[in-house]
Amino acid sequence: MNLKKSISVVTGAGRGIGRSVALELAKAGSTVILVARTERELRNLQREIEASGGKAETRVADITDDTRVRELFGYVKETHGRLDVLINNAGIGRFAPVRNLELSDFDAMWNLNVRALALCSQGAVQIMEPQNSGIIVQVASLAGKNAFVNGAAYAATKWAVLGFSKCLMLEVREHNIKVIVVCPGSVDTGFSVRTRESSREKILSPKDVADTIMAALRLPPQAMMSEIDLRPTNPK
């Protein structure tokens, strides 16, 4: 896809992978709609993008709220008339053995990692199908493929993302919509550093993930990377 003059939405844009992807999209000429719950982080990112000559808009929203999701995609359609790229990045992780797992933690992960992702995907598809084009990128995790101790609830949400996204890809490809699932391993974000013992010098950076996503976005229309496993070369 030629990203110049495109319209992109990035959820979880305030930090980490979302922030890095938003910066790269803006550099490529896309107008980036930044979505997160923390206004200060979004405003700082917007200023950084605009200072470099890019275009960005901010939408403060809790995407676990159905109404806010409808408002977000209603705004995109009314203001821009199209949507070219959705980066479904927002997510959280809570880790505990199943015997000690708090139901509230499981619900919080499910609502953001799966339900909100599905709602945003639906909102994007409703705009993309009539225009017969678009790309949806789901930021999942290798936890959606690999079991690990104390990760049952988190891994379950990422397995769900993989299943949902594979089905969605089959539904919408006839409308020239690509669905790409990116499964990173350990990434140097506040989230990963708290839950992994790997050296920060050896694990992936948010920009590594962003660069991978950008490469997938830039493929010609007839080619789609439907699933990408991105691992540290040597995490030990």
CB 90 within 8 A of CB 63: yes
Burial class of 210 by CB neighbour count within 10 A (0 to 12, 13 to 18, 19+): buried
Of the residues 8, 154, 179, 209, which is catalytic?
Answer: 154
Rounded CA separation 7/92 (Å): 26
The 3-class secondary structure across 35-101, one letter per residue, is EECCHHHHHHHHHHHHHCCCEEEEEECCCCCHHHHHHHHHHHHHHHCCCCEEEECCCCCCCCCHHHC
Helix (H) or strand (E) holding 181: strand 177-184
Rounded CA separation 72/60 (Å): 9
Rounded CA separation 198/184 (Å): 14
Rounded CA separation 75/235 (Å): 42
Q: Is 216 helix (H, G, I), strand (E, B) or coil?
A: helix
User: What are the φ/ψ torsions at residue 136 (nearest 5 degrees)?
Assistant: -115, 125
Among this protein's residues, is 154 annotated catalytic?
Answer: yes
CB 201 within 8 A of CB 174: no
- The set of catalytic residues is 154
